[in-house]
Amino acid sequence: MSNATLSPLPSADRPETAARLRDALLAASFTADGLLDLLGAPAYAALARSETVPALRATRGDSPLEMLVRLFLLQQPVPHARVADALPVDACLEAGWLVRTGGDEIAATVDVRPYGGPGGEDWFIVSDLGCAVGGAGGIGSRDEGVVLGVGGASTTLAGITVRTPVAAALDLGTGSGIQALHASRHATRVTATDVNPRALHITALTLALSGAPAVDLREGSLFEPVRQDETYDLIVSNPPFVISPGARLTYRDGGMGGDDLCRTLVQQAGERLTEGGFAQFLANWQHVEGEDWQDRLRSWVPRGCDAWIVKREVQDVTQYAELWLRDAGDHRADPVEYQARYDAWLDEFEARKVKAVGFGWITLRRTGSAVPSVTAEEWPHPVEQPLGDAVRAYFSRLDYLRTHDDAALLEQHFRLAEEIVQEQVGLPGAEDPEHVVLRQNRGMRRATKVDTVGAGFAGVCDGSMSAGRILDAIAQLLGEDPVLLRDRTPAQIRLLVEQGFLEPVG
């Protein structure tokens, strides 16, 4: 479809109507909790899979909430008379939230999805019709200028973002405004940019309908709308990171060759950060034949920044092409056209010698350290969201380790972090385990192998004794030279501190 098929948007200049609509939605319990209570878990989960039949069956009654779900989430016309008591219909018609569809029926002009904020806020994410995740349209043919609602990527980014009070935050490629909405809770000033003016309009609607303060909206690509003298304490972006031939779909395709958009975004972020400021992105990157993916990503990190890069998954080029062809609805098109598009993707990857595509998180922090830390790791295992506090703590631990050499480390007191368990792995009946694993049940939920000394050290860390005294006691128990044990153990202690198994006391 073309841009001409996109429906007109509600006016963003009528905050009083948005406020009245918000009050009406809340009064009818059109909230995340209210939807779960109304639909039940199976129908609610089906919406996330873009299956609407269970939700349609659950909303066949006449209650205000059922009508609102059919109207704003399932895109079903409803009789004017059945919502007249639940909504300020005339004001919504005048402002463009609703339109008449013939007879006595009205329809919504945008998707409105209830979304629970981290502090229990009742927020509403506005998106184009059929483009809310779990909306009536589901995954299908997408217009090049369409604005999507909340998806797995956007909620992932919101969860990993560091949430400390800041003066200024920047949301690059705001889309439906979910990151700007989160930032408005803890940033004095929020700037949101997008190359698509329709996205900026929808962001304004999302903020108004959620009862959040307005933000500074700017049109343009990447950092183009940002003045040279502007810096931020927090930069977030869920960019159009899909590596595709061409830039057919604005909401997902970066329009640069390969992974150049993500590389450019990361490289340019450093100079826009205040000292100690964070920049956090989702990204795709190429796994190129003969090149280590970690080296590729490390080369993106700008000077003066620590970086923590986490690869969450990787797909071979055929899986990747099929995923995004389905996303655009191309699998429903003419088979010859589908094959031609598939070939174009594989031609692009072959020309660039790309064997696979990685997906993950990139966090930068502006640092004054003479030797910044750059870590690139693979962690495909389940984590506990939200992770923002864990991300901030990781960089705090880096600072701690920078300022403590091995001698200072041995003078420190440590305690085992909360919810750490020890697993011993070995053959049944064996006297000694083959190896010992420490496992976290919080945050990144890491697991790391330790030797006998490491396991014993971690087990007695309660903050009462210095690391050196603990090692001396272990040496005596094992009959080892305490000097040699003190020499070889700090590296293991550093790793346990860096990964969050041990916490410095005080």
Q: How far apart are the first and last CA of the chain?
A: 61
User: Where do the H-state alpha helices sit in 124-188?
Assistant: 152-160, 178-183
pLDDT of residue 115: 95
The pair of three-digit structure tokens given for residue 304, joined into one six-digit string: 């003066």
Count other Cβ atoms within 10 Å, centred on residue 370: 7
Task: Determine the 3-state secondary structure of 242 from DSSP.
Answer: strand
Question: How many CA atoms does the CB half-sphere of 423 hold within 13 Å?
Answer: 12
Cα dist. 322→61, 329, 338 in Å? 40, 10, 10
In this predicted model, what pLDDT tens digit does every residue of 423-463 receive, in sequence order?
988 888 777 778 899 999 999 999 999 999 999 999 999 99
Mean pLDDT of 376-394: 97
The pair of three-digit structure tokens given for residue 47, joined into one six-digit string: 């919406």
In this predicted model, what pLDDT tens digit does every residue of 97-120 receive, in sequence order?
999 998 899 999 999 999 999 999
Strands 305-316 and 374-378: parallel
Mean pLDDT of 249-265: 87
Cα-trace Rg, the chain: 26
Residue 143 in this model has a pLDDT that exceeds 70:
no
Mean pLDDT of 18-42: 97
Which one of 98-107, 162-171, 328-337 scores highest in mean pLDDT? 162-171
- Whether 503 and 418 have beta carbons less than 8 Å apart is answered as no
Cis peptide before 386, with omega less than 30 degrees from 0? yes
Strand partners, 448: 438
Higher model confidence: residue 3 or residue 312?
A: 312
- Whether 111 and 75 have beta carbons less than 8 Å apart is answered as yes
Q: Which of 5-9, 304-308, 347-351 has the lowest mean pLDDT?
A: 5-9
Report the alpha-carbon distance of residue 237 to residue 266 in Å, rounded: 10
Q: Read out DSSP for 368-398?
A: --SS--EEEEE--S---S--HHHHHHHHHHH
Handedness of CA 423, 428, 432, 434 (dihedral sign): negative
Mean pLDDT of 214-242: 96
Q: Which residue in this structure is represented by tokens 């790309």?
A: 354
pLDDT of residue 102: 83
Residue 10 in this model has a pLDDT that exceeds 70:
yes
Residue 53 in this model has a pLDDT that exceeds 60:
yes
Mean pLDDT of 198-217: 98
Confidence band for 3, pLDDT divided at 50, 70 and 90: very low
Residue 227 burial by Cβ neighbours in a 10 Å radius (0-12, 13-18, 19+): exposed
In this predicted model, what pLDDT tens digit does every residue of 76-86 receive, in sequence order?
999 999 999 99
Cα dist. 421→285, 383, 417, 424, 454 in Å? 34, 16, 10, 10, 14
Task: Determine the 3-state secondary structure of 213 from DSSP.
Answer: coil
pLDDT of residue 250: 75
The pair of three-digit structure tokens given for residue 95, joined into one six-digit string: 């402002």
Mean pLDDT of 213-222: 97
Q: How does the average pLDDT of the chain come out, rounded?
A: 93
Report the alpha-carbon distance of residue 210 to residue 153 in Å, rounded: 21
> If you ran DSSP here, which 8-state letter would residue 71 be given?
I
Residue 138 in this model has a pLDDT that exceeds 60:
no
Residue 134 in this model has a pLDDT that exceeds 70:
no
Mean pLDDT of 255-261: 88
Give CA 244 to chain center in angstroms: 21
Residue 2 in this model has a pLDDT that exceeds 70:
no
Mean pLDDT of 243-267: 86
pLDDT of residue 170: 98
Q: Which residue in this structure is represented by tokens 């041990």?
A: 502
Quick one: what percent of the chain has pLDDT higher than 90?
85
pLDDT of residue 345: 95
Report the alpha-carbon distance of residue 35 to residue 125 in Å, rounded: 14
Residue 36 in this model has a pLDDT that exceeds 60:
yes
Residue 4 burial by Cβ neighbours in a 10 Å radius (0-12, 13-18, 19+): exposed
Residue 30 in this model has a pLDDT that exceeds 80:
yes
